[in-house]
């Protein structure tokens, strides 16, 4: 074995540099800790490396094969996971709504699902801090949720064709809409550690990476901040093992870089590899699982999309994809399900649109060519809704090995009764909105988005993997910070909450350890 | 099918500074790739796959053929994955080989000839039977026909519509983004965006 010549341990190793890893990395470095981030993906230079082309940008996706099982198998790759310094934020669409206080109290309100171990007040100041740092563009006041203490730092982004159609349809049905909050700059913005970041030029390519740094992915926000405070980042470093010392603490992290095995000694580990790789790494190493809950409680947001063709030209690749939002469906009246969902307008790139259509409708031959010719006239609307944890939804290690020689994860997912009812409710409503907006050839793309909950946070060590501070119940120097610790799925896109939680986890750690 | 959008828009834009170098590199590579001898499939399999792909996504008479089957062959030869697989499906390599054999088998059983000998109409009937998981044959005991069809169709669509010539066909010019887009509302068009003929 080749050992990295690092006789003295660093204070902390952060594994993964996405939404859960990057903010915490910056916070720990700013507190004066010696921190090293290990990231499986590459360190990109978007201005030079990123093409405005869906196929070329596949390099941003995590493509080690995963096995999708259950009645509603989850697609991965381009649909669910990224890699690179910045993680999945490199290709997220940058929707950044806040959760509402009742999202954290689903069990109290409905008697199903889970409550978070603490309330909205624990997140609020972190939401604000993250929004200010990223330069979130959004309306103030924002029509839903508790009154904001501070306005969004920038006004909303311009509204594209899909957004205008959603406004039109919703207005006729009496549904309130608003410009959405997006982590993309509606004006030039000063960023500590970076300088001025460029305003969004409406290229609509957020899901394939932003070439101009307008979108607040971690590589243009928290990562440069972390570097400025002295953090070290080792890209293309794939972690395979966490080594325990006799006292039961993790003493070393083993990773492969350029085909060589290296090892980093450390005092603390922050595992931020995302809701699939985090539990996979723990299961591979048989760690932190005295509860048997690692990989369990897997949730995925109901994310039904409704598409239609319009007489007007939409050219759906232009503008921030998620321009318009409505949270009027947060707690729909007379709903036959627990929780709720939000509505968003969606832009789309052509290859994504057409491959989704072939999967959903099975269209081929001249029919497909005809549908493709309508691309410039299509617009979509989608939901993002809460998902309940269920025993039949989980992640396990399969017997099949991937190209690295490690067992592929197998992910079981089937929508439960609650998700089915919510989706049916949304299907009716969105079709009505699209009809009112003038859509023809309306079709539905059923989907579930975002993997959540596989290392649950909670009070009880027999039912949760980490405590309310994100610390492993079993291994005191191991923390988890990513989409896997969410006790419930929330009825909003997750990234902003992951980042806020990441800062909270860092602060709880620093407080508990009196800055070490 | 009639032309909806003018021919040559994407190629013309590629030559301008409205396209970044990285974008131009990616598109040029796709435009200039010549059809290669098979690396993964046998000659027979590749020809069969090509015939099938041309039924799934008919080529346009306004530009040269887009090599969809070659794209699939080269992905499989490189052992690349799109990051996931249905758990009840074999590995991609086996899926394609079994599926292609299954299509020929179904063609024999339904119309007494291998797939490539059939008329377009019969070919389409075979493909529809596969899509609906009603195709006869032993192959389909080892492979879910409807899922194979879904994978084949989605991957073919991906290769076809990633191609600059196909993007010209549908009037897509999103790659020309250097100046940004200002006219983004309904029925708003910038000069470099082609209009659909009425
Ligand atoms: C197409 C798309 C659009 C999206 N749009 C939105 C949106 O608009 N709004 C929103 O809120 N969310 C969105 N999301 C979801 C959002 O991007 C994720 O929820 C979020 O980034 C997850 O954060 P994370 O920290 O859990 O994981 P990630 O951001 O995925 O980061 C995990 C990192 O860990 C690295 N890693 C994994 N394993 C290892 C290992 N063994 N060794 C070293 N490194 C490792 C990975 O390479 C990766 O960089 C979108 C996702 C996709 C796929
Ligand atoms: S729409 Fe704006 S933020 Fe998104 S990729 Fe384009 S320029 Fe970047």
Query: Cα separations (Å) of A263 from A7, A13, A283?
Result: 10, 11, 20
Distance A276 CA to ligand 1 centre (A): 10
Does A76 contact ligand 1 (Cβ within 6 A)?
no
Which among A160, A216, A47 is positioned nearest to B182, based on CA atoms? A160
Q: Kind of pairing, strands A324-326 and A341-346?
A: antiparallel
Q: Which of A46, A50, A51 to mutate to test the interface with B (most CBs of B within 10 A)?
A: A51
CA distance A61 to B190: 32
Using CA of residue A507, residue A508, residue A509, residue A510, what is the dihedral sign? Answer: positive
| A359 to chain B, closest Cα gap in Å | 6
A410 dihedral zone (left: phi>0; alpha: psi -120 to 50; beta): beta
On chain A, the residues whose CB falls within 8 A of the CB of B166 are 372
CA distance A455 to A486: 8
CA distance B44 to B50: 10
Residue B72 has pLDDT above 50, yes or no: yes
Give the torsion through C-alpha atoms of A379, A439, A356, B174, to 10 deg: -30
Question: What pLDDT does residue A482 have?
Answer: 98
Rounded to 5 degrees, φ, ψ at A103 are -60, -30
Count other C-beta atoms under 10 Å from residue A85's C-beta. Answer: 24
Average pLDDT of the residues in B19-32: 96
pTM of the model: 0.97
CATH classification at residue A93: 3.50.50.60
Q: What pairs with residue A268 in β-bridges? A: A12
Of B57, B162, B187, the CB nearest to A351: B162
Q: Which domain does A311 fall in, by range?
A: 4-512
Helix, strand or coil, per DSSP, at residue A482: coil
- The total number of structural domains in chain A stands at 1
Question: What pLDDT does residue A515 have?
Answer: 63
Per-residue pLDDT of chain A (516 residues; tens, 9 = 90+): 444 555 689 999 999 999 999 999 999 999 999 999 999 999 999 999 999 999 999 989 998 999 999 999 999 988 778 899 999 999 999 999 999 999 999 999 999 999 999 999 999 999 999 999 999 999 999 999 999 999 999 999 999 999 999 999 999 999 999 999 999 999 999 988 889 999 999 988 888 899 999 999 999 999 999 999 999 999 999 999 999 999 999 999 999 998 999 999 999 999 999 999 999 999 999 999 999 999 999 999 999 999 999 999 999 999 999 999 999 999 999 999 999 999 999 999 999 999 999 999 999 999 999 999 999 999 999 999 999 999 999 999 999 999 899 999 999 999 999 999 999 999 999 999 999 999 999 999 999 999 999 999 999 999 999 999 999 999 999 999 999 999 999 999 999 999 999 999 999 999 998 765
Give the ligand 2 atom nearest the CA of A205: 5
8 Å CB contact between A76 and A413: no
The residue with tokens 């909303």 is: A156
Does A167 contact ligand 1 (Cβ within 6 A)?
no
Question: What pLDDT does residue A192 have?
Answer: 84
Question: What pLDDT does residue A176 have?
Answer: 98
Of A52, A164, A315, the CB nearest to B23: A52
B148–A contact, CB cutoff 8 A: no
B154–A contact, CB cutoff 8 A: yes
Using CA of residue B109, residue B113, residue B117, residue B122, what is the dihedral sign? Answer: negative
Question: What pLDDT does residue A306 have?
Answer: 98
- Burial class of residue A367 in the structure, from the number of CB atoms within 10 Å of its CB (0-12 exposed, 13-18 middle, 19+ buried): exposed
Residues B108-165: tens digit of each pLDDT: 999 999 999 999 999 999 999 999 999 999 999 999 999 999 999 999 999 999 999 9
Q: Where are the alpha helices (DSSP H) in A229-330?
A: 274-284
Does A320 contact ligand 2 (Cβ within 6 A)?
yes
Does A93 contact ligand 1 (Cβ within 6 A)?
yes
CA distance A272 to B140: 42
Q: Chain B: residue nearest A204 by CA?
A: B174
Which among A74, A128, A79 is positioned nearest to A504, based on CA atoms? A128
Which among A12, A405, A80 is positioned nearest to A240, based on CA atoms? A405
Instruction: Verify whether the Cβ–Cβ distance B158 to A373 is below 8 Å.
Output: no
Which among B25, B18, B30, B2 is positioned nearest to B167, based on CA atoms? B30
Buried residues in B60-89 as b, exposed as e (16+ CB within 10 A)? beebeebbbbbbbbbbbeeeebbbbbbbeb
CA distance A495 to A490: 11
What is the residue extent of each domain of chain B?
Answer: 9-170
């Amino acid at each position: 074995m080749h050992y990295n010549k690092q006789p003295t341990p660093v204070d902390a190793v952060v594994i993964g540099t996405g939404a859960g890893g990057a903010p915490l990395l910056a916070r720990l470095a700013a507190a004066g800790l010696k921190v090293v981030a290990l990231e499986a993906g590459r360190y990109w230079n978007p201005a030079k490396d990123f093409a405005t082309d869906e196929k070329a940008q596949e390099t941003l996706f995590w493509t080690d094969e995963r096995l999708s099982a259950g009645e509603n198998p989850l697609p991965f790759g381009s649909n669910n996971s990224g890699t690179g310094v910045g993680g999945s934020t490199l290709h997220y669409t940058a929707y950044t709504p806040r959760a509402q206080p009742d999202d954290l109290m689903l069990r109290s309100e409905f008697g199903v699902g889970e409550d978070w171990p603490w309330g909205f007040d624990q997140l609020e100041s972190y939401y604000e801090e993250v929004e200010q740092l990223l330069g979130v563009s959004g309306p103030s006041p924002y029509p839903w949720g508790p009154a904001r203490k501070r306005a969004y730092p920038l006004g909303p982004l311009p509204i594209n064709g899909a957004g205008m159609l959603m406004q039109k349809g919703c207005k006729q049905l009496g549904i309130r809409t608003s410009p959405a909050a997006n982590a993309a700059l509606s004006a030039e913005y000063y960023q500590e550690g970076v300088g001025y970041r460029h305003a969004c030029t409406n290229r609509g390519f957020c899901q394939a990476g932003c070439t101009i740094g307008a979108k607040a992915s971690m590589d243009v926000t928290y990562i440069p901040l972390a570097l400025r405070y002295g953090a070290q980042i080792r890209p293309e470093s794939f972690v395979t093992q966490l080594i325990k010392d006799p006292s039961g603490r993790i003493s070393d992290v083993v990773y492969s870089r350029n085909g060589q095995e290296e090892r980093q000694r450390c005092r603390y580990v922050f595992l931020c590899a995302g809701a699939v790789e985090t539990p996979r790494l723990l299961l591979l190493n048989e760690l932190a699982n005295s509860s048997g809950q690692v990989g369990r409680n897997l949730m995925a947001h109901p994310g039904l999309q409704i598409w239609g063709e319009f007489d007007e030209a939409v050219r759906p690749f232009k503008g921030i994809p998620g321009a318009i939002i409505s949270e009027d469906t947060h707690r729909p009246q007379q709903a036959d399900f627990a929780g709720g969902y939000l509505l968003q307008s969606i832009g789309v790139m052509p290859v994504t649109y057409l491959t989704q259509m072939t999967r959903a409708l099975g269209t081929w031959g001249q029919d497909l060519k005809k549908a493709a010719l309508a691309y410039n006239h299509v617009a979509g609307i989608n939901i993002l809704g809460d998902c309940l944890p269920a025993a039949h939804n989980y992640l396990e290690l399969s017997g099949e090995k991937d190209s690295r020689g490690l067992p592929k994860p197998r992910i079981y997912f089937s929508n439960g009764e609650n998700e089915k009812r919510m989706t049916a409710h949304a299907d009716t409503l969105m079709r009505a909105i699209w009809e009112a907006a003038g859509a023809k050839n309306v079709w539905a793309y059923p989907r579930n988005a975002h993997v959540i909950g596989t290392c649950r946070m909670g009070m009880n060590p027999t039912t949760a993997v980490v405590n309310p501070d994100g610390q492993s119940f079993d291994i005191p120097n191991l923390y988890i910070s990513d989409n896997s610790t969410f006790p419930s799925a929330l009825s909003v896109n997750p990234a902003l909450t992951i980042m806020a939680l990441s800062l909270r986890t860092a602060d709880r750690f620093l407080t508990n350890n009196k800055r070490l | 099918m009639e032309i909806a959008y003018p021919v040559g828009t994407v190629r013309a834009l590629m030559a301008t500074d409205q396209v970044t170098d990285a974008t131009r590199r990616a598109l040029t590579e796709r435009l200039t790739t010549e059809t290669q001898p098979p690396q993964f499939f046998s000659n027979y399999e590749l020809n069969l796959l090509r015939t099938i792909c041309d039924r799934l996504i008919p080529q346009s008479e306004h530009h040269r053929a887009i090599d969809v089957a070659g794209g699939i062959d080269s992905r499989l030869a490189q052992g690349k994955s799109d990051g996931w697989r249905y758990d009840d499906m074999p590995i991609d390599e086996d899926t394609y080989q079994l599926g292609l054999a299954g299509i020929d088998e179904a063609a024999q059983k339904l119309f007494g000839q291998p797939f490539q000998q059939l008329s377009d109409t019969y070919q389409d009937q075979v493909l529809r039977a596969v899509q609906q998981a009603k195709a006869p044959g032993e192959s389909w005991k080892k492979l879910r026909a409807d899922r194979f069809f879904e994978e084949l169709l989605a991957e073919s669509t991906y290769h076809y519509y990633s191609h600059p010539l196909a993007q010209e066909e549908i009037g897509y010019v999103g790659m020309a983004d250097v100046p940004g887009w200002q006219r983004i509302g309904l029925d708003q068009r910038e000069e470099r965006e082609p209009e659909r003929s009425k």
